[in-house]
A and B are shown apart, each in its own frame.
Chain A
Amino acid sequence: MAASAGENVMGGTAAPTVAARRPGSWLVMPSVGVLLIWMIVPLVMTVWFSFRFYNLLDPSVHGFAGLDNYTYLVTDPNFWVSLRNTMVLLVAVLVITVGLGTLLAVLFNQPFPGRNVARVLAISPFFVMPTVSALLWKNLLMHPIYGVFGVVAHTFGLQPVDWFAQYPLASVITIVSWEWLPFALLILLTAVQSLDQEQREAARMDGAGVIAQFFFITLPHLSRAISVVIMIETIFLLTIFAEIFVTTSGGPGNATTNLAFLIYSRALLQFDIGGASAGGVVAIILANIVAIFLVRSVARRLEV
Protein backbone atom coordinates (compact mmCIF):
# COMPACT_ATOMS: atom_id res chain seq x y z
CA MET A 1 0.00 0.00 0.00
CA ALA A 2 2.20 2.75 -1.23
CA ALA A 3 1.05 5.85 0.58
CA SER A 4 1.34 8.23 -2.34
CA ALA A 5 -0.75 5.95 -4.54
CA GLY A 6 -3.40 5.78 -1.82
CA GLU A 7 -3.75 9.55 -1.80
CA ASN A 8 -4.09 9.55 -5.56
CA VAL A 9 -6.89 7.06 -5.37
CA MET A 10 -8.70 9.11 -2.77
CA GLY A 11 -8.33 12.15 -5.01
CA GLY A 12 -9.79 10.16 -7.88
CA THR A 13 -13.03 9.31 -6.10
CA ALA A 14 -13.71 12.98 -5.46
CA ALA A 15 -13.49 14.21 -9.03
CA PRO A 16 -16.94 13.91 -10.60
CA THR A 17 -16.35 16.75 -13.03
CA VAL A 18 -13.45 14.93 -14.62
CA ALA A 19 -15.49 11.75 -14.79
CA ALA A 20 -18.37 13.53 -16.48
CA ARG A 21 -16.09 15.03 -19.08
CA ARG A 22 -14.29 11.77 -19.78
CA PRO A 23 -16.75 8.92 -19.73
CA GLY A 24 -14.01 6.27 -19.83
CA SER A 25 -12.07 7.26 -16.76
CA TRP A 26 -14.67 6.55 -14.10
CA LEU A 27 -14.82 2.88 -15.13
CA VAL A 28 -11.85 2.17 -12.89
CA MET A 29 -13.87 3.17 -9.83
CA PRO A 30 -15.75 -0.09 -9.15
CA SER A 31 -12.49 -2.00 -8.90
CA VAL A 32 -10.81 0.69 -6.82
CA GLY A 33 -13.89 0.80 -4.59
CA VAL A 34 -14.10 -2.92 -3.83
CA LEU A 35 -10.34 -3.16 -3.32
CA LEU A 36 -10.44 -0.19 -0.99
CA ILE A 37 -13.20 -1.79 1.07
CA TRP A 38 -11.42 -5.16 0.94
CA MET A 39 -8.30 -3.49 2.26
CA ILE A 40 -9.60 -0.96 4.74
CA VAL A 41 -12.45 -2.72 6.54
CA PRO A 42 -10.49 -5.77 7.70
CA LEU A 43 -7.45 -3.61 8.34
CA VAL A 44 -9.34 -1.30 10.69
CA MET A 45 -10.93 -4.28 12.41
CA THR A 46 -7.57 -6.01 12.81
CA VAL A 47 -6.00 -2.91 14.32
CA TRP A 48 -9.02 -2.47 16.63
CA PHE A 49 -8.96 -6.08 17.84
CA SER A 50 -5.23 -5.93 18.39
CA PHE A 51 -5.82 -3.38 21.16
CA ARG A 52 -8.58 -5.43 22.79
CA PHE A 53 -8.69 -8.46 25.05
CA TYR A 54 -10.76 -10.83 22.97
CA ASN A 55 -10.85 -14.58 23.42
CA LEU A 56 -13.61 -16.64 21.84
CA LEU A 57 -13.36 -19.29 24.57
CA ASP A 58 -13.39 -16.88 27.49
CA PRO A 59 -15.89 -14.02 27.05
CA SER A 60 -15.24 -12.83 30.62
CA VAL A 61 -11.90 -11.45 29.46
CA HIS A 62 -12.63 -8.32 27.48
CA GLY A 63 -11.92 -4.62 27.34
CA PHE A 64 -9.11 -2.38 26.27
CA ALA A 65 -5.77 -4.12 26.30
CA GLY A 66 -3.53 -1.25 25.39
CA LEU A 67 -0.30 -2.67 24.11
CA ASP A 68 -0.65 -5.92 26.06
CA ASN A 69 -1.26 -8.04 22.97
CA TYR A 70 1.83 -6.59 21.33
CA THR A 71 3.93 -6.96 24.47
CA TYR A 72 2.84 -10.56 24.75
CA LEU A 73 3.62 -11.09 21.07
CA VAL A 74 7.14 -9.66 21.07
CA THR A 75 8.09 -11.38 24.31
CA ASP A 76 6.99 -14.72 22.86
CA PRO A 77 10.06 -16.52 21.47
CA ASN A 78 7.77 -18.26 18.96
CA PHE A 79 7.08 -14.91 17.35
CA TRP A 80 10.74 -14.19 16.62
CA VAL A 81 11.26 -17.71 15.36
CA SER A 82 8.26 -17.35 13.06
CA LEU A 83 9.56 -14.03 11.77
CA ARG A 84 12.92 -15.60 11.08
CA ASN A 85 11.32 -18.63 9.42
CA THR A 86 9.21 -16.37 7.19
CA MET A 87 12.29 -14.54 5.95
CA VAL A 88 14.42 -17.69 5.61
CA LEU A 89 11.67 -19.32 3.57
CA LEU A 90 11.29 -16.26 1.35
CA VAL A 91 15.00 -15.72 0.69
CA ALA A 92 15.90 -19.40 0.31
CA VAL A 93 13.13 -20.12 -2.18
CA LEU A 94 13.88 -16.93 -4.14
CA VAL A 95 17.58 -17.79 -4.38
CA ILE A 96 16.92 -21.39 -5.39
CA THR A 97 14.17 -20.69 -7.92
CA VAL A 98 15.74 -17.63 -9.55
CA GLY A 99 19.24 -19.14 -9.57
CA LEU A 100 18.26 -22.55 -10.90
CA GLY A 101 15.49 -21.05 -13.03
CA THR A 102 17.99 -18.87 -14.90
CA LEU A 103 20.32 -21.79 -15.57
CA LEU A 104 17.45 -24.04 -16.66
CA ALA A 105 16.03 -21.33 -18.91
CA VAL A 106 19.36 -21.19 -20.75
CA LEU A 107 19.47 -24.99 -20.89
CA PHE A 108 15.92 -25.35 -22.24
CA ASN A 109 16.65 -22.69 -24.84
CA GLN A 110 19.21 -25.00 -26.48
CA PRO A 111 17.85 -27.26 -29.19
CA PHE A 112 17.67 -30.94 -28.26
CA PRO A 113 15.42 -33.84 -29.25
CA GLY A 114 12.01 -33.71 -27.55
CA ARG A 115 12.69 -30.28 -26.08
CA ASN A 116 9.07 -29.17 -26.14
CA VAL A 117 7.90 -32.25 -24.26
CA ALA A 118 10.71 -31.86 -21.74
CA ARG A 119 9.67 -28.24 -21.18
CA VAL A 120 6.05 -29.15 -20.55
CA LEU A 121 7.13 -31.80 -18.04
CA ALA A 122 9.46 -29.37 -16.28
CA ILE A 123 6.87 -26.62 -15.81
CA SER A 124 4.11 -28.99 -14.65
CA PRO A 125 4.68 -28.64 -10.89
CA PHE A 126 3.45 -25.03 -11.07
CA PHE A 127 -0.06 -26.26 -11.78
CA VAL A 128 -0.21 -28.69 -8.85
CA MET A 129 -2.18 -27.32 -5.92
CA PRO A 130 -0.06 -26.65 -2.80
CA THR A 131 -2.03 -29.05 -0.62
CA VAL A 132 -1.44 -31.86 -3.10
CA SER A 133 2.26 -31.17 -3.56
CA ALA A 134 2.68 -31.04 0.20
CA LEU A 135 0.98 -34.42 0.68
CA LEU A 136 2.81 -35.88 -2.29
CA TRP A 137 6.22 -34.95 -0.92
CA LYS A 138 5.36 -35.81 2.65
CA ASN A 139 3.99 -39.28 2.01
CA LEU A 140 5.12 -40.61 -1.34
CA LEU A 141 8.63 -39.17 -1.41
CA MET A 142 9.88 -38.13 2.03
CA HIS A 143 8.18 -40.73 4.20
CA PRO A 144 11.06 -42.43 6.05
CA ILE A 145 9.67 -45.97 5.63
CA TYR A 146 7.47 -46.02 2.52
CA GLY A 147 8.71 -42.95 0.66
CA VAL A 148 10.79 -43.22 -2.50
CA PHE A 149 13.78 -41.49 -0.88
CA GLY A 150 13.71 -43.95 2.02
CA VAL A 151 13.50 -46.95 -0.30
CA VAL A 152 16.36 -45.65 -2.41
CA ALA A 153 18.44 -45.08 0.71
CA HIS A 154 17.70 -48.65 1.82
CA THR A 155 18.77 -50.00 -1.55
CA PHE A 156 22.14 -48.39 -1.11
CA GLY A 157 22.36 -49.62 2.46
CA LEU A 158 21.95 -46.15 3.93
CA GLN A 159 19.87 -45.10 6.90
CA PRO A 160 16.67 -43.41 5.61
CA VAL A 161 16.22 -39.82 6.71
CA ASP A 162 13.08 -38.70 8.52
CA TRP A 163 13.00 -35.44 6.60
CA PHE A 164 10.29 -33.54 8.45
CA ALA A 165 11.69 -34.50 11.86
CA GLN A 166 15.36 -33.89 11.11
CA TYR A 167 15.30 -31.10 8.52
CA PRO A 168 11.81 -29.62 8.80
CA LEU A 169 12.40 -26.14 7.39
CA ALA A 170 14.67 -27.44 4.63
CA SER A 171 11.95 -29.92 3.68
CA VAL A 172 9.35 -27.17 3.41
CA ILE A 173 11.80 -25.06 1.39
CA THR A 174 12.33 -28.03 -0.95
CA ILE A 175 8.60 -28.45 -1.56
CA VAL A 176 7.95 -24.75 -2.10
CA SER A 177 10.97 -24.48 -4.41
CA TRP A 178 9.70 -27.42 -6.44
CA GLU A 179 6.41 -25.55 -6.90
CA TRP A 180 7.95 -22.21 -7.87
CA LEU A 181 11.01 -23.26 -9.88
CA PRO A 182 8.79 -24.10 -12.89
CA PHE A 183 7.21 -20.67 -12.63
CA ALA A 184 10.61 -18.96 -12.72
CA LEU A 185 11.64 -21.25 -15.57
CA LEU A 186 8.47 -20.45 -17.54
CA ILE A 187 8.99 -16.69 -17.35
CA LEU A 188 12.77 -16.69 -17.77
CA LEU A 189 12.64 -19.09 -20.71
CA THR A 190 10.41 -16.68 -22.60
CA ALA A 191 12.85 -13.90 -21.81
CA VAL A 192 15.84 -15.92 -23.00
CA GLN A 193 14.02 -16.72 -26.24
CA SER A 194 13.69 -13.02 -27.00
CA LEU A 195 17.46 -12.51 -26.71
CA ASP A 196 19.00 -11.05 -29.83
CA GLN A 197 21.04 -13.88 -31.36
CA GLU A 198 23.17 -11.55 -33.46
CA GLN A 199 24.43 -9.84 -30.36
CA ARG A 200 25.55 -13.18 -28.94
CA GLU A 201 27.09 -14.13 -32.23
CA ALA A 202 29.07 -10.89 -32.27
CA ALA A 203 30.24 -11.51 -28.72
CA ARG A 204 31.29 -15.01 -29.67
CA MET A 205 33.25 -13.66 -32.62
CA ASP A 206 35.01 -11.29 -30.27
CA GLY A 207 36.13 -14.30 -28.31
CA ALA A 208 33.66 -14.31 -25.43
CA GLY A 209 33.32 -17.77 -23.93
CA VAL A 210 30.06 -19.41 -22.90
CA ILE A 211 30.41 -18.13 -19.35
CA ALA A 212 31.29 -14.58 -20.39
CA GLN A 213 28.31 -14.58 -22.78
CA PHE A 214 26.06 -15.68 -19.92
CA PHE A 215 27.23 -12.98 -17.51
CA PHE A 216 27.59 -10.06 -19.91
CA ILE A 217 24.73 -10.66 -22.35
CA THR A 218 22.16 -13.16 -21.11
CA LEU A 219 22.01 -12.06 -17.48
CA PRO A 220 21.57 -8.30 -18.15
CA HIS A 221 18.92 -9.14 -20.73
CA LEU A 222 17.08 -11.20 -18.13
CA SER A 223 17.11 -8.58 -15.40
CA ARG A 224 13.57 -7.33 -16.06
CA ALA A 225 12.17 -10.82 -16.21
CA ILE A 226 13.99 -11.66 -12.98
CA SER A 227 12.39 -8.59 -11.38
CA VAL A 228 8.98 -9.88 -12.40
CA VAL A 229 9.69 -13.32 -10.98
CA ILE A 230 10.95 -11.87 -7.69
CA MET A 231 7.92 -9.59 -7.39
CA ILE A 232 5.28 -12.24 -8.06
CA GLU A 233 7.00 -14.90 -5.97
CA THR A 234 7.42 -12.55 -3.01
CA ILE A 235 3.70 -11.82 -3.04
CA PHE A 236 2.94 -15.51 -2.72
CA LEU A 237 5.87 -16.65 -0.58
CA LEU A 238 5.20 -14.20 2.25
CA THR A 239 1.87 -15.91 2.78
CA ILE A 240 2.86 -19.59 2.46
CA PHE A 241 0.36 -21.56 4.47
CA ALA A 242 -0.97 -24.77 2.91
CA GLU A 243 2.41 -26.48 2.62
CA ILE A 244 3.07 -25.96 6.32
CA PHE A 245 -0.48 -26.74 7.40
CA VAL A 246 -0.44 -30.07 5.59
CA THR A 247 3.11 -31.28 6.30
CA THR A 248 4.27 -30.17 9.72
CA SER A 249 1.57 -27.96 11.26
CA GLY A 250 4.38 -25.60 12.15
CA GLY A 251 6.41 -28.21 14.00
CA PRO A 252 8.28 -29.98 15.25
CA GLY A 253 8.15 -27.43 18.06
CA ASN A 254 8.14 -24.18 16.14
CA ALA A 255 10.72 -25.16 13.52
CA THR A 256 8.47 -24.48 10.54
CA THR A 257 6.07 -21.92 12.00
CA ASN A 258 6.00 -18.85 9.80
CA LEU A 259 4.07 -15.68 10.59
CA ALA A 260 1.05 -16.87 8.63
CA PHE A 261 0.89 -20.12 10.56
CA LEU A 262 1.53 -18.45 13.93
CA ILE A 263 -1.45 -16.12 13.48
CA TYR A 264 -3.58 -18.98 12.24
CA SER A 265 -2.82 -21.06 15.32
CA ARG A 266 -3.44 -18.11 17.66
CA ALA A 267 -6.79 -17.32 16.09
CA LEU A 268 -8.34 -20.62 15.15
CA LEU A 269 -6.59 -23.07 17.44
CA GLN A 270 -6.22 -20.97 20.60
CA PHE A 271 -9.15 -18.63 19.83
CA ASP A 272 -7.10 -15.65 20.99
CA ILE A 273 -8.47 -12.99 18.62
CA GLY A 274 -6.63 -10.10 20.29
CA GLY A 275 -3.25 -11.83 20.14
CA ALA A 276 -3.83 -13.05 16.60
CA SER A 277 -4.78 -9.56 15.48
CA ALA A 278 -1.59 -8.12 16.94
CA GLY A 279 0.25 -10.75 14.90
CA GLY A 280 -1.81 -9.73 11.87
CA VAL A 281 -0.83 -6.09 12.28
CA VAL A 282 2.84 -7.11 12.46
CA ALA A 283 2.38 -9.26 9.33
CA ILE A 284 0.86 -6.28 7.53
CA ILE A 285 3.71 -4.00 8.59
CA LEU A 286 6.24 -6.58 7.44
CA ALA A 287 4.46 -6.95 4.10
CA ASN A 288 4.48 -3.18 3.68
CA ILE A 289 8.20 -2.94 4.31
CA VAL A 290 8.76 -5.60 1.67
CA ALA A 291 6.19 -3.95 -0.63
CA ILE A 292 7.85 -0.52 -0.44
CA PHE A 293 11.19 -2.11 -1.15
CA LEU A 294 9.75 -4.07 -4.06
CA VAL A 295 7.80 -1.20 -5.56
CA ARG A 296 10.88 1.00 -5.41
CA SER A 297 13.33 -1.47 -6.89
CA VAL A 298 11.27 -3.79 -9.05
CA ALA A 299 7.99 -2.25 -10.15
CA ARG A 300 9.75 0.89 -11.35
CA ARG A 301 11.46 -1.18 -14.01
CA LEU A 302 8.15 -2.36 -15.44
CA GLU A 303 6.42 -0.53 -18.21
CA VAL A 304 3.23 1.04 -16.98
Chain B
Amino acid sequence: MTDSLGRRTLIAVLGWTVAIVLFFPIFWMVVTSFKSETDAITARLLFTPTLNAYRDVFARADYLSFAFNSVVVSVGGSVLALAFAIPAAYSMAFHPTHRTRGTLLWMLSTKMLPPVGVLVPIYLLFRSTGLLDTRTGLVAIYALMNLPIVVWMLFTFYKEVPREILEAGRMDGANTWGEVWHLLLPLTLPGIASTGLLSLILCWNEAFWSLNLTSSQAAPLTAFIASFSSPQGLFFAKLSAASTMAVAPILVFGWFSQKQLVQGLTFGAVK
Protein backbone atom coordinates (compact mmCIF):
# COMPACT_ATOMS: atom_id res chain seq x y z
CA MET B 1 0.00 0.00 0.00
CA THR B 2 2.78 2.38 0.92
CA ASP B 3 4.52 1.65 -2.36
CA SER B 4 1.52 2.39 -4.53
CA LEU B 5 2.10 4.07 -7.87
CA GLY B 6 0.29 7.17 -6.71
CA ARG B 7 2.58 7.62 -3.74
CA ARG B 8 5.72 7.09 -5.80
CA THR B 9 4.56 9.63 -8.36
CA LEU B 10 3.78 12.11 -5.61
CA ILE B 11 7.28 11.71 -4.15
CA ALA B 12 8.93 12.15 -7.53
CA VAL B 13 6.87 15.26 -8.29
CA LEU B 14 7.53 16.74 -4.84
CA GLY B 15 11.25 15.98 -4.97
CA TRP B 16 11.73 17.49 -8.38
CA THR B 17 9.59 20.53 -7.56
CA VAL B 18 11.71 21.27 -4.51
CA ALA B 19 14.94 20.76 -6.44
CA ILE B 20 13.81 23.05 -9.26
CA VAL B 21 12.53 25.74 -6.90
CA LEU B 22 15.78 25.76 -4.91
CA PHE B 23 17.95 25.73 -8.02
CA PHE B 24 15.86 28.22 -9.98
CA PRO B 25 17.73 31.40 -8.89
CA ILE B 26 21.04 29.88 -10.02
CA PHE B 27 19.50 28.63 -13.27
CA TRP B 28 18.02 32.06 -13.91
CA MET B 29 21.37 33.75 -13.24
CA VAL B 30 23.09 31.53 -15.82
CA VAL B 31 20.29 32.05 -18.37
CA THR B 32 20.34 35.83 -17.90
CA SER B 33 24.10 35.91 -18.39
CA PHE B 34 23.59 34.78 -22.00
CA LYS B 35 21.01 37.45 -22.77
CA SER B 36 21.45 40.88 -24.25
CA GLU B 37 20.78 43.72 -21.79
CA THR B 38 17.38 44.41 -23.39
CA ASP B 39 16.35 40.76 -23.13
CA ALA B 40 17.70 40.58 -19.59
CA ILE B 41 15.12 42.95 -18.13
CA THR B 42 12.28 40.82 -19.42
CA ALA B 43 11.48 37.46 -17.90
CA ARG B 44 11.04 35.73 -21.25
CA LEU B 45 12.67 32.38 -21.77
CA LEU B 46 13.04 32.56 -25.56
CA PHE B 47 15.92 34.73 -26.71
CA THR B 48 18.99 34.67 -28.91
CA PRO B 49 21.93 33.67 -26.74
CA THR B 50 24.88 36.03 -26.84
CA LEU B 51 28.25 36.18 -25.16
CA ASN B 52 28.20 39.99 -25.06
CA ALA B 53 27.77 40.15 -21.32
CA TYR B 54 30.83 37.99 -20.75
CA ARG B 55 32.80 40.05 -23.25
CA ASP B 56 31.81 43.23 -21.41
CA VAL B 57 32.79 41.85 -18.04
CA PHE B 58 36.19 40.83 -19.35
CA ALA B 59 36.55 44.27 -20.90
CA ARG B 60 36.43 45.65 -17.38
CA ALA B 61 40.09 44.70 -17.31
CA ASP B 62 40.15 44.18 -13.57
CA TYR B 63 37.99 41.05 -13.56
CA LEU B 64 40.90 38.66 -13.87
CA SER B 65 42.84 40.34 -11.10
CA PHE B 66 39.85 39.96 -8.75
CA ALA B 67 39.65 36.29 -9.69
CA PHE B 68 43.39 35.93 -9.19
CA ASN B 69 43.07 37.47 -5.72
CA SER B 70 40.25 35.08 -4.87
CA VAL B 71 42.35 32.08 -5.84
CA VAL B 72 45.44 33.31 -3.99
CA VAL B 73 43.71 34.22 -0.73
CA SER B 74 41.48 31.11 -0.70
CA VAL B 75 44.29 28.68 -1.43
CA GLY B 76 46.75 30.59 0.77
CA GLY B 77 44.33 30.82 3.69
CA SER B 78 43.41 27.14 3.43
CA VAL B 79 46.99 25.91 3.13
CA LEU B 80 48.09 28.04 6.08
CA ALA B 81 45.15 26.84 8.18
CA LEU B 82 45.98 23.23 7.33
CA ALA B 83 49.65 23.77 8.19
CA PHE B 84 48.68 24.87 11.69
CA ALA B 85 45.80 22.43 12.09
CA ILE B 86 47.47 19.18 11.03
CA PRO B 87 49.94 19.09 13.96
CA ALA B 88 47.25 20.31 16.36
CA ALA B 89 44.70 17.70 15.30
CA TYR B 90 47.39 14.99 15.36
CA SER B 91 48.38 15.99 18.85
CA MET B 92 44.83 16.00 20.17
CA ALA B 93 43.74 12.80 18.44
CA PHE B 94 46.78 10.65 19.32
CA HIS B 95 48.14 12.29 22.46
CA PRO B 96 44.96 13.38 24.22
CA THR B 97 45.19 14.89 27.67
CA HIS B 98 42.43 15.77 30.06
CA ARG B 99 42.41 19.21 28.45
CA THR B 100 41.78 18.06 24.89
CA ARG B 101 38.01 18.30 25.02
CA GLY B 102 38.17 21.74 26.60
CA THR B 103 40.70 22.94 24.04
CA LEU B 104 38.54 21.74 21.15
CA LEU B 105 35.44 23.47 22.50
CA TRP B 106 37.40 26.62 23.23
CA MET B 107 38.73 26.66 19.66
CA LEU B 108 35.23 26.37 18.25
CA SER B 109 33.97 29.07 20.57
CA THR B 110 36.45 31.54 19.07
CA LYS B 111 34.41 31.12 15.86
CA MET B 112 31.46 32.60 17.72
CA LEU B 113 33.39 35.77 18.35
CA PRO B 114 31.61 38.00 15.85
CA PRO B 115 34.14 39.42 13.36
CA VAL B 116 32.39 42.75 13.62
CA GLY B 117 33.23 42.87 17.32
CA VAL B 118 36.92 43.03 16.48
CA LEU B 119 36.67 44.78 13.13
CA VAL B 120 37.85 48.11 14.48
CA PRO B 121 41.10 46.91 16.09
CA ILE B 122 41.95 44.63 13.17
CA TYR B 123 41.30 47.49 10.78
CA LEU B 124 43.54 49.82 12.77
CA LEU B 125 46.24 47.15 13.21
CA PHE B 126 46.19 46.45 9.50
CA ARG B 127 46.35 50.15 8.71
CA SER B 128 49.34 50.73 10.94
CA THR B 129 51.23 47.65 9.73
CA GLY B 130 50.52 48.27 6.07
CA LEU B 131 48.52 45.06 5.73
CA LEU B 132 45.38 46.87 4.64
CA ASP B 133 44.39 45.89 1.10
CA THR B 134 47.09 43.22 0.81
CA ARG B 135 46.68 39.57 -0.05
CA THR B 136 49.03 38.65 2.80
CA GLY B 137 46.72 40.27 5.31
CA LEU B 138 43.66 38.52 3.93
CA VAL B 139 45.47 35.14 3.87
CA ALA B 140 46.32 35.53 7.56
CA ILE B 141 42.74 36.48 8.46
CA TYR B 142 41.26 33.62 6.45
CA ALA B 143 43.63 31.09 7.99
CA LEU B 144 42.71 32.24 11.51
CA MET B 145 39.05 32.43 10.63
CA ASN B 146 38.94 28.81 9.43
CA LEU B 147 41.47 27.30 11.83
CA PRO B 148 38.96 26.12 14.46
CA ILE B 149 36.73 24.37 11.93
CA VAL B 150 39.72 22.87 10.12
CA VAL B 151 41.11 21.52 13.41
CA TRP B 152 37.73 20.02 14.29
CA MET B 153 37.34 18.31 10.95
CA LEU B 154 40.86 16.89 10.91
CA PHE B 155 40.47 15.74 14.49
CA THR B 156 37.37 13.82 13.44
CA PHE B 157 39.21 12.12 10.60
CA TYR B 158 42.26 11.33 12.72
CA LYS B 159 40.14 9.75 15.42
CA GLU B 160 39.14 7.11 12.92
CA VAL B 161 42.72 6.05 12.21
CA PRO B 162 43.54 2.96 14.28
CA ARG B 163 46.21 3.89 16.81
CA GLU B 164 47.92 0.54 16.23
CA ILE B 165 49.12 1.67 12.82
CA LEU B 166 50.98 4.65 14.26
CA GLU B 167 52.27 2.58 17.14
CA ALA B 168 53.63 -0.02 14.73
CA GLY B 169 55.41 2.78 12.89
CA ARG B 170 56.94 4.00 16.11
CA MET B 171 58.17 0.49 16.88
CA ASP B 172 59.89 0.52 13.52
CA GLY B 173 61.77 3.61 14.62
CA ALA B 174 59.67 6.45 13.17
CA ASN B 175 59.88 9.70 15.12
CA THR B 176 56.95 12.11 15.48
CA TRP B 177 57.76 13.73 12.16
CA GLY B 178 57.99 10.40 10.34
CA GLU B 179 54.82 9.23 11.98
CA VAL B 180 52.86 12.22 10.73
CA TRP B 181 54.51 12.55 7.34
CA HIS B 182 54.82 8.91 6.25
CA LEU B 183 51.87 7.30 8.01
CA LEU B 184 49.18 9.75 9.03
CA LEU B 185 49.15 12.06 6.00
CA PRO B 186 48.84 9.30 3.38
CA LEU B 187 46.19 7.52 5.45
CA THR B 188 44.04 10.60 5.93
CA LEU B 189 44.61 12.27 2.59
CA PRO B 190 40.90 12.10 1.63
CA GLY B 191 39.98 13.74 4.94
CA ILE B 192 42.59 16.44 4.52
CA ALA B 193 41.38 17.05 0.99
CA SER B 194 37.76 17.48 2.01
CA THR B 195 38.76 19.71 4.91
CA GLY B 196 40.81 21.85 2.55
CA LEU B 197 37.88 21.92 0.17
CA LEU B 198 35.47 23.22 2.79
CA SER B 199 38.01 25.80 3.87
CA LEU B 200 38.39 26.82 0.23
CA ILE B 201 34.62 27.25 -0.14
CA LEU B 202 34.40 29.33 3.05
CA CYS B 203 37.33 31.55 1.97
CA TRP B 204 36.05 31.94 -1.57
CA ASN B 205 32.63 33.04 -0.35
CA GLU B 206 33.79 35.12 2.63
CA ALA B 207 32.59 38.69 2.32
CA PHE B 208 32.93 40.50 5.64
CA TRP B 209 36.70 40.79 5.89
CA SER B 210 37.26 41.10 2.17
CA LEU B 211 34.78 43.97 1.89
CA ASN B 212 36.19 45.80 4.90
CA LEU B 213 39.92 45.19 4.59
CA THR B 214 40.49 45.49 0.85
CA SER B 215 39.74 48.22 -1.62
CA SER B 216 41.52 47.70 -4.92
CA GLN B 217 44.83 45.85 -4.77
CA ALA B 218 43.81 42.70 -2.93
CA ALA B 219 40.05 42.72 -3.46
CA PRO B 220 38.70 39.25 -4.31
CA LEU B 221 35.58 38.40 -6.32
CA THR B 222 33.24 39.01 -3.39
CA ALA B 223 34.22 42.68 -3.45
CA PHE B 224 34.01 42.80 -7.24
CA ILE B 225 30.48 41.42 -7.18
CA ALA B 226 29.45 43.82 -4.40
CA SER B 227 30.44 46.73 -6.66
CA PHE B 228 27.52 45.73 -8.90
CA SER B 229 25.05 46.68 -6.20
CA SER B 230 25.48 50.36 -7.04
CA PRO B 231 22.71 51.77 -9.29
CA GLN B 232 25.07 52.58 -12.16
CA GLY B 233 26.21 48.98 -12.17
CA LEU B 234 22.72 47.65 -12.67
CA PHE B 235 23.08 45.81 -15.90
CA PHE B 236 21.39 42.48 -15.37
CA ALA B 237 23.19 40.49 -18.07
CA LYS B 238 26.63 41.72 -17.04
CA LEU B 239 25.81 41.23 -13.37
CA SER B 240 24.71 37.68 -14.15
CA ALA B 241 27.77 36.94 -16.24
CA ALA B 242 30.13 38.20 -13.53
CA SER B 243 28.18 36.29 -10.85
CA THR B 244 28.22 33.10 -12.89
CA MET B 245 31.98 33.35 -13.33
CA ALA B 246 32.46 34.06 -9.62
CA VAL B 247 30.32 31.13 -8.52
CA ALA B 248 30.99 28.47 -11.17
CA PRO B 249 34.35 27.09 -9.96
CA ILE B 250 33.27 26.66 -6.36
CA LEU B 251 29.85 25.33 -7.36
CA VAL B 252 31.45 22.59 -9.44
CA PHE B 253 33.87 21.84 -6.57
CA GLY B 254 30.88 21.55 -4.27
CA TRP B 255 29.01 19.14 -6.54
CA PHE B 256 31.94 16.78 -6.69
CA SER B 257 32.81 16.94 -3.02
CA GLN B 258 29.42 16.89 -1.31
CA LYS B 259 29.91 13.42 0.17
CA GLN B 260 33.25 14.25 1.78
CA LEU B 261 31.93 17.62 2.92
CA VAL B 262 29.14 16.03 4.92
CA GLN B 263 31.53 13.55 6.47
CA GLY B 264 33.82 16.28 7.67
CA LEU B 265 31.22 18.84 8.61
CA THR B 266 29.35 16.66 11.02
CA PHE B 267 32.31 16.08 13.32
CA GLY B 268 31.58 12.37 13.31
CA ALA B 269 28.21 13.00 14.91
CA VAL B 270 26.34 11.54 11.96
CA LYS B 271 27.38 8.01 11.32
List residues of A whose CB falls within 8 A of some B CB. 1-2, 4-6, 8-9, 11-12, 18, 22-28, 30-32, 34-35, 38-39, 41-43, 45-46, 49, 104, 107-108, 110, 112-115, 117-141, 145-146, 148, 151-152, 178, 181-182, 186-187, 189-191, 194, 204, 210, 224-225, 227-228, 232, 234-235, 238-239, 241-242, 245-247, 259-260, 263-264, 267-268, 273, 276-277, 280-281, 283-284, 286-288, 290-291, 294-295, 299, 301-304
CA–CA, A287 and B100, complex, Å: 23
List residues of B whose CB falls within 8 A of some A CB. 2, 8, 11-12, 14-16, 18-20, 22-23, 25-26, 28-29, 32, 40-43, 84-85, 87-88, 90-92, 94-95, 97, 99-125, 144, 147-148, 151, 175-176, 201, 204-205, 207-208, 211-212, 221-222, 225-226, 228-229, 234, 236, 239-240, 243, 246-247, 250-251, 253-255, 258, 261-263, 265-271
Supply 17 further A-B pairs (C-beta < 8 A) apart from A238-B112, A268-B119: A24-B90, A31-B85, A43-B117, A112-B8, A121-B23, A125-B25, A135-B226, A146-B41, A194-B270, A210-B2, A228-B269, A245-B207, A259-B116, A267-B123, A280-B114, A287-B112, A290-B112
| CB pair A124 B26 closer than 8 Å | yes
Nearest first, the 5 A-B pairs at minimum CB distance are: A242-B207, A42-B118, A5-B106, A45-B121, A24-B95
CA–CA, A245 and B84, complex, Å: 32
CA–CA, A295 and B105, complex, Å: 8
| CB pair B144 A34 closer than 8 Å | yes
Closest to A185 in B: B22
CA–CA, A102 and B10, complex, Å: 18
Residues of A within 8 Å of B115, CB to CB, are: 239, 241, 260
Number of A-B contacts (CB under 8 A): 340
**Helix, strand, loop or mixed for chain A's interface?**
helix
Min distance, Cβ B96 to any Cβ of chain A, angstroms: 8
CA–CA, A133 and B240, complex, Å: 11
Min distance, Cβ A292 to any Cβ of chain B, angstroms: 9
Known A-B contacts A31-B147, A245-B226, A284-B114; the reply to A129 vs B19 at CB < 8 A is: no
Residues of B within 8 Å of A141, CB to CB, are: 25, 28
